[in-house]
Structure formats: C-alpha cells, structure tokens
Chains A and B, each alone.
Chain A
Amino acid sequence: MPETQTGLQRALRHPLVWPVLALVVLLVVNVVAKPGFFDIRMQDGHLYGNLIDIVRNSAPVLLVALGMTLVIATRGIDLSVGAIAAISAAIACTRIVGAGDEGALTTAVMACTYALAVCIVLGAWNGFLVSVLGIQPIIATLVLMVAGRGISMAITDGQITTVHNTWFSDLATGYVLTLPIAFIIALGILALTAVLTRRTALGMLIEAVGINPEASRLAGVRSRTIIWTVYAFSGFCAGIAGLVIAANTNSVNANSLGLWIELDAILAVVIGGTSLAGGRFSLTGTLIGALFIATLARTVNNIGIPSELNYLFKAVVVIAVCLLQSPKARSAFRVRRSSGPGSPGSTAPALVKTGSAA
C-alpha cells in the first residue's frame, strides 16, 4: 500500500462516509422512482414537499436518538424512552384539557414544562438504578418500559385524550421561517446536545467512561454523576419527542404513542456510527441516522410498497450495519479477500495470536 493517501482515501476513512452514502442511495432511488421527488413548493409562506415531510417526520426519532446516543456512549442503553414519551404526552394533554383556558399559550407552556420535568425525574430514576444500584442498563430500563405505558394510561385514565390548543399543535404541524417547527425543535435540541457535550467537558468524560471505565475511575472521573446525567437527559429528550408526537394528532393514545420508538432510536444511533459497545459518539451521525430512517419510510411509500413492509427493510438495515461494525465479520471478509492470489492469507496466523506476550 502506498504511503501517501489521496484525498479520496482519507475521505473514505471518515466514519460518516457509509451513513451518508446510504442516505444518498436512498434519495437516488426515490428520484429514479419519482423524478419530481425533490420538488419543493412554497404555499402560504410554508415549504411543502417530500424533503420537508422527511425532516418533519424524522423529528421524534431524532430527539429520542440524541439522548440515546449519549446513553449508548457510556456503554448503556435506554429501553424506556417510548414509555417515557407516552407519559410525557399523557401529562401534557391531561393538563391542557384540565386547565381553565384550554387554548391559551400559557396553558400549553405550563403543561409541557411540567411534563418534561417529570420525564427528567423518570430518566434520573433509570440513572439511579444503573449507576447507584449497579443494575445492567438493559434490565434497569426494562422496568420502566413495562410499567411506563401503564402509568401513562393511568394518567389519561385509559382514554384517548384529545386537546384543542393551537399552540400545542404547532409543535408538530406549525412552521417558523418556512420550516416545520418539529424539525427546528429537534435541531435545537441537537445544538443543545452539541453545546452540552462539546462546549463543556461532558462529551469527553462520557467517552472516557465508555471506552475505559477502570482507567476513568483511576483518573478520578465521577462516572456515577456522568451516568446519572445522561439518563436524565435521555428522559428529557424522550419527553420532548412525546410532546411532538402528541401534537401531531392533537391527542394521546397511551397504548400506541411512541411504540417501538426506542428501537428506531437505537437504530438511528447505530447507523450513525456510534458503537453499541460505547465510547466515541457522533451527534451528526445520529442526525443522519434519523434522517435515513425517515427517508426509508418515505421511500417505501414512494415506490409503491405498503408502508407496513418498512419492517423488512429495517431488519435488513440492522443486520447490514451490525455486520459492518462487527470486528469478527470484518476479519472474516478480509481473510477471504486477502486469501486471493494477490496476497496470501497473511492475516490468519495473526488471528490465532491475539493474546499478549506477557
């Protein structure tokens, strides 16, 4: 291999190449199927079009995935986000309905603030189970995943609660500066997360804990605080996602709201190149992952396949991404490639001796 790398080679090494490429391929498929796919119209000062729909629809998953990214970076996982989203929506909607002036701006603001505060507490509860009691993240968050929808139904008393508050519905369907508010909120939280992790030392400490917990402990990192913080933040993000979803239909169905959103969020994080084993995370990657999932859903519709079959494509994506990230799969493929005539299988003995010499 030559010593100097061309610009192209360097670009191909960039971790975001694959997700971006995948997204581009999906978009190309769409354009081929429907040449007018990229068309964007201006109507009543709002932009309309497939791309606008995609960014708007990606908002809930993106929101949840942002919190999930940080959780996964600490070697954790948060299964309860769907349930927390449902609780958040239930609280906001019941408070709006129960308020004296249902349509007022203050009603909506108060209700949302209250809902988000509860979500932070729920997230902190997960953090408590993980960091203080030392329960495995997947199990600790399973508790709230199971109980959460029950709690959400208890709040709405098992009814589908419908709200009439234009301010609240604007969360999902409103536009500011020609762009959907939902996406602007998601971008705002993305910016907030970026500032929170990259302008403070949180990001570095999260990565340190995720990469080498023992070395971090010996360097004096308070991993307990870090873990607590990321789960609380994940709860917060899930809460906002719940509000956006509820605002989209102006109602909350505790049974189905945010169902499986945890799986989509994990998928978005993994597509974005953040490893499930923890460590380095990429918020941009997560953004691309969320856009990919929304685009996939749109594509399935666009090329005339029933939207339910989206699951099949997601399964394929999950497997493909995991195989790309799995060192075992990679080395299996590499050995096969290198055992060709060009380079005799020189990697095989290296595989045997992976232990240290000590």
Chain B
Amino acid sequence: MTQMDLQPAHGPKASSDADRPVIEMRDISITFGSVQALSEVSLRLRAGEVHALMGENGAGKSTLIKALTGVYSIDAGTVLVDGEQHEFSSPAASQAAGISTVYQEVNLLPNLTVAENMLLGREPRRFGGINVRAMNRRARATLESLGIDVDPTSELGEHPIAIQQLVAIARAVDVEARVLILDEPTSSLDTDEVAKLFEVMRRLRDQGVAIVFVSHFLDQVYEIADRMTILRNGRLVTERMVAETTQLELVKLMIGRELEVLERLDRKVSARTADESGVPVLRAVGVGRKGALEATDLDLYEGEVIGLAGLLGSGRTELARLLFGADSTDTGEVVIRSERRRLRSPRHAIDRKVAFSSEDRKAEGVIGDLTVADNMLLALQASRGWLRPIPQATRTKLVEQYLQALDIRPADPTALMRNLSGGNQQKVLLARWLITEPEVLILDEPTRGIDIGAKAQIQAKVAELSAQGMAVVFISAELEEVLRLSDRLVVMRDRRKIDERPNNDVTVGDVLEIIAGETREEEGPRA
C-alpha cells in the first residue's frame, strides 16, 4: 500500500515496509461554507518519531488536527490506519484507533484528583463502584513509567500548569495511544518545565508512540522533532527531516513566496528617522509578563511607524497588549508623554490617547448586534461617560465622515455590525479609534483575513496617519506589509525582542534571517 505517486514532489522517497506510517492522511480537503480550510493536505506519521506540524496563522494546522481527531468531517481524501482505510466520524472513533490529543489549554478537571483525571471513564471498579485504591495504584504506575513525580491522590488544580499538562499526557498515554497529538503544549511553560515535558516525550517516542508536536517555538522544534510537515494557507508545502533543514529555510517555507518576488514589491523608499532628541510619545521600560513576554524596552516617537515582526507566538501580540494595558504587566512600566505609571486597564491608556485594535476582531473588537454607527462611536462615548451622549449632529458628521474616508460598505450607519464583511468590520474598528484622535495607534494584524482592496486602503490610511504625526505600532504576519509601512523594525522571537533597526533597505530575507537566528549579532542591533 505505498502509493507514492499521490505524494507531492517534496515528499520523502518511497518508504520500505518497516517505515510504513501508523497513520497516513492523504489529500485531505475541508471547506467551511465558501472557505477552503484545507486543500489536498497529506500527513504521514511513523511509529517512534516526533513529527512537528509547522505553519503560520491560518495555515490549517488546527483544522488538520481536528480532522485527525474526528472533530471535523473530511470532504475529500482518505485516512489510513496501518494501511487500512478508516473513517473518523467522531472523536470516539479516532480515540478507538489509538489517537489521543492534548490541547493547548489543559482540558482536564482541576476539581478532581490526578488519578481521576487520568482514568475517569475507564476506572477500575469493584462491586459496581469505583475501586479508588486500584485506580490510584494504576495512576501511580503510569506516572512512574513516565518519570512524572506527582501524588495521584492530590487534586489536579493544586499543581502548576506544567504538571497538569503532563497529567494530560499521562491520561492520553494510559489508553495505549499509538499517536499522541500535542497542540502547543509548551506555550505557557517555562524552560525547566519544557525540559521536563521533552523528557516525557522522548520516553514515549522510544516506546514507539508517534507524536505530533505543534509549537511556535523554533528552538523547541529543533530540539525535539525528527521530522516536520509544513503547511501554508491550507495547503501542504512539504515534509522534511528536521536535521536536514536550516532554520532559515524553515521560516521561508512557512512564510512562503519566493524571495525574489518579495524583493520586487513596491515599498517605502527609505525610512524617516525620527527625532530622537525629543521625548518619546510612548516608552516601554522593561515591560514583561510571566509566560507571555520577557522584559522589553521600546521607544515610540511622534510620526513614526514601528513594525513588529515575528512569527505567531513570538511575543508581538503580547507586547502590544501590555503597551495598551489590555493585560497587566508583571514587570516594568509604560511611560506615556513622560508620565510614568503602571497601566491597570485599557481605560488608562485611552485617557492618555493610546488606541489598540486587537488581532481577534470577532472576540475583542466587534459588537455584532450593535449598528455600525454605535460600533464606531463606542470608544469616544466610553471616554465621555454615559451621561454625556455625543450630540446627534456630531454623531452623524463623524460617522458619515469615516464611512466615506475609509470607504466602508454598505455605507449605512444603521446596518448591524455582524452583517458586514471582515474588511469592512476592520475599517469600522479603525474608525472607532481614529474618532478618539489618538496620539499612539497600536494595530495588531489589522489586515488579517480581509480582501485585497480593504487591505490596501487600511495600509494607505496608516501611512497617511503617520505622516500627520501619529505614532503607530504595526503588527502583521505578512513581513512585506510590515516592511512597506514601517520606519523602524522590531523583531520578536521566543517572547522577547531580538533585534531593532531602522527600516533602511531591509529585505524580507534579512528579517527571515534575523528570525531564524543566523545573523543575530552581526548586524549590530540598535538598542
């Protein structure tokens, strides 16, 4: 059953029988409504390997995993288990085939004991009731075999997230899993905890389990993974051995497009150099938060655009949120116009003329059941307080002005926000902040998932605003876009700032190299 002719060109050479995958997903396609989430993607998992699944936001990693675990149904393609075709119509069917999943947010029960969390649903019984002793004994044995030192009778919630993560793995292993999927298991762990996790993963691999590892941390992937499958925009890019791929190559494969094409793109001629003798509009001094961002400095001057470049999970979003007070800082402080203070809530930042548009438009931006006009005026109204409504004439004027300026369609102030397309929603959110006349504008992925036209309009608006003197922090997964707009570039990786430089003739290739960590010191970071 080795039909290699169906494999993409980059795929590995024909495998021997011993190399036959435990699970093979072949040409999987999934659509949601009109959106093609996965298009002819293949994934081959072999026993005793750690297989990294790599890709940026929207590459299709989660969709592929959910197809494998039976959460989503497949529109086209086949799933082979030991060479035999299977259909995973439900999570139970997938589990029955030996596939276990541990999700990023630990899906266990903090109010029950460790042993119960591991064995509930298949606990040993006696006289119709649960045999607690036998259950604890079995849990202890499994934990010991994995080298996890936890008392099975203790309550799960008492333990740190890292231990809970390991317990989740122990539960997954106890079902005699042949395939273990770890979806971003390290995103909230510190270095020691990651080491512990990897130790357990290695043990399992040596026992012959195939492990799917999803992580945004390149170093971790290189430390633990044997092989990787790279996805982009719902398509398979390639499958590679980790040892044979440099980090730079990997980043290029993930971000995509040929470099030459990128270089030819129209972009800003040269960066304006900000007047650094003046006072920064906004300064971050050692701003950090446990599990999100190491202490980071950043100065932002009037009329400049800072581009935050970095992969998903690099700390770019976390930094933006801390600058706005959307999350509270553990260390450091944000100084706005020489006024030092800890930002305790977005309110404080807004009062000091900072604006922030979140990357999660739906959950953190759009008020779906309110009208376009209300959505636009929300921030201004919130800062005026409920007792001072915006006069009707001003309302109409502002709304009309921005409907036109940003070319929002339908240009109907009474339309419900949830009925607008993503691009138009994003424009309304931009208008929401522009109406407050901010001095600092932080935009986290303002162009994600919207059509080309709207994207160009938003980019033009950002350039125009900075020309008028607004300080902008611009975050995007698309490096071309960041380079095109920004005067200064800050590169993030593994939750810290690794580079900062003026955007003078910086190419996408340069940035990729910085991210991949190959020329980190040579170019001489500015700070």
Q: Is chain B in direct contact with chain A in the complex (CB below 8 A)?
A: yes
| B37-A352 in contact (CB<8A) | no
Contact assessment for A217 and B346 in the assembled complex, using a CB-CB cutoff below 8 Å: yes
Interface residues as binary, A218-244 with B (CB distance below 8 Å gives 1, 0 otherwise): 111110011001000000000000000
- The complex places the Cα of A199 from the Cα of B390 at a distance, in Å, of 10
Chain A: minimal CB distance from B410 (Å)? 15
> Contact: B432 with A219, CB < 8 Å?
yes
Is the beta-carbon distance between B370 and A216 smaller than 8 angstroms? no
CA–CA, A143 to B58, complex, Å?
A: 47
In the complex, are the beta carbons of B386 and A219 less than 8 A apart?
no
- Whether the pair A215, B386 counts as a contact (CB closer than 8 A) is no
Q: Is A202 an interface residue (CB 8 A)?
A: yes
Q: Which residue of A lies closest to B35 (CB)?
A: A357
**Are B63 and A357 in contact, CB atoms less than 8 angstroms apart?**
yes
Q: Which residues of A contact B389 (CB under 8 A)?
A: 199-201
Q: Residue-by-residue, is B327-350 near A (CB-CB < 8 Å gives 1, otherwise 0)?
A: 000000000000000000111001
A358–B58 touching, CB < 8 Å: yes
Q: B346 contacts which of A202, A204, A218 (Cβ < 8 Å)?
A: A218
Tell me whether A218 and B365 are in contact (CB under 8 A). yes
Report chain B residues within 8 Å CB of A226: 386
Which of A108-116, A133-141, A205-213 makes up part of the contact surface?
A205-213
Residues of chain A within 8 A of B346, CB atoms compared: 217-220
Interface residues on A, range: 20 to 34
Q: Chain B residues near A211: list those with CB within 8 A.
A: 367-370
Q: Does A328 contact B (CB under 8 A)?
A: no
Cβ–Cβ < 8 Å partners of B368 in chain A:
211-212
Interface residues on B, range: 35 or more
Shortest CB–CB separation between residue B373 and chain A, in angstroms? 10
Whether A200 lies near B386 (C-beta < 8 A) is yes
Q: A199-B389, A201-B381, A358-B58 are in contact. Are A220 and B347 (CB under 8 A)?
A: yes
The interface residues of chain B lying within 8 Å CB-to-CB of A205 are: 381-382, 386
Closest CB in chain B relative to A105 CB, distance in Å: 32
Tell me if B32 is interfacial: C-beta within 8 Å of chain A. Answer: yes
Q: Which residues of B contact A279 (CB under 8 A)?
A: 369
Knowing A353-B72, A358-B57, the reply to whether A215 touches B381 (Cβ < 8 A) is no
Which residues on B sit within 8 Å (CB–CB) of A352?
A: 72-73
Given A212-B368, A353-B32 in contact, is the A219-B382 Cβ separation under 8 Å?
A: yes
Assembled-state Cα–Cα distance A212/B370 (Å) = 10
User: Contacts of B326 on A, CB cut-off 8 Å?
Assistant: 218
Residue ID in chain B nearest A221 by CB atoms: B382
Is A280 an interface residue, CB under 8 A from the partner? yes
Of B134-142, B246-254, B356-364, B501-509, the one with at least 4 CB within 8 A of chain A: B356-364
User: How far apart are B336's CB and chain A's nearest CB, in angstroms?
Assistant: 15
Q: Interface 1/0s, chain B 47-58, versus A by CB < 8 A?
A: 000000000011
Which B residues contact A (CB, under 8 angstroms)? 32-33, 35, 37, 57-58, 60, 62-63, 66, 71-73, 234, 324, 326, 345-347, 350-351, 356, 358, 363-370, 374, 378-379, 381-390, 432
Q: Closest 10 A-B residue pairs measured CB to CB?
A: A357-B37, A220-B350, A220-B382, A202-B386, A221-B382, A201-B389, A219-B379, A201-B386, A219-B378, A201-B381
Jot down 19 A-B pairs with beta carbons below 8 A, ordered by A.
A201-B386, A201-B388, A202-B386, A204-B370, A205-B386, A218-B358, A219-B382, A220-B350, A220-B382, A221-B378, A222-B385, A229-B386, A280-B369, A355-B72, A356-B32, A357-B58, A357-B60, A357-B63, A358-B62
Other A-B pairs, 7, CB within 8 Å; known A201-B385, A215-B367: A201-B381, A208-B374, A211-B369, A217-B345, A225-B386, A280-B369, A358-B62
